[in-house]
Amino acid sequence: MKFAIVNHWIGEGDFETHLKVLAPDRRELVVSAPSKFSIENNGYADNVTFFTNVSFERAGAHTVQIYIDGHIAAERPLYVHHVPPAPASVN
């Protein structure tokens, strides 16, 4: 699976961010590479993190952890649902 997570930052200075996606049992599934960015006075930054070839083993409420300068800034739920394949058509 391929998906993206977008973060909007407001502030001033130089920062480094990274993300973690946790399974429902809080086990780490994937961790992003660190991303550095700068924000000028009265500015903002949008950070887009792409994840590719991620396999979710089961459905449920996963967690996205958002880090800034090595400290956790937020946790957000990521709900994963199993979608069964469409039935084969009979022709």
DSSP per-residue letters across the chain: --EEEEEEEEEEEEEEEEEEEE-TTS-EEEEPPPEEEEEEEEEEEEEEEEE-S----S-EEEEEEEEETTEEEEEEEEEE---PPPPPP--
pLDDT at 90: 66
pLDDT at 26: 96
Cα distances (Å, whole numbers) of residue 34 to 12, 45, 59: 19, 15, 27
Give me the amino acid identity at 82. Answer: H
pLDDT > 70? residue 91: no
pLDDT at 54: 93
pLDDT > 80? residue 82: yes
pLDDT at 1: 86
Is the domain spanning 3-80 CATH 2.60.40.10? The answer is yes
3-class DSSP string for 61-87: EEEEEEEECCEEEEEEEEEECCCCCCC
pLDDT > 90? residue 88: no
User: Domain segments of the chain: what residues?
Assistant: 3-80
Give pLDDT tens digits for 16-58: 999 999 999 999 999 999 999 999 999 999 999 999 999 998 9
Stated pTM of the model: 0.86
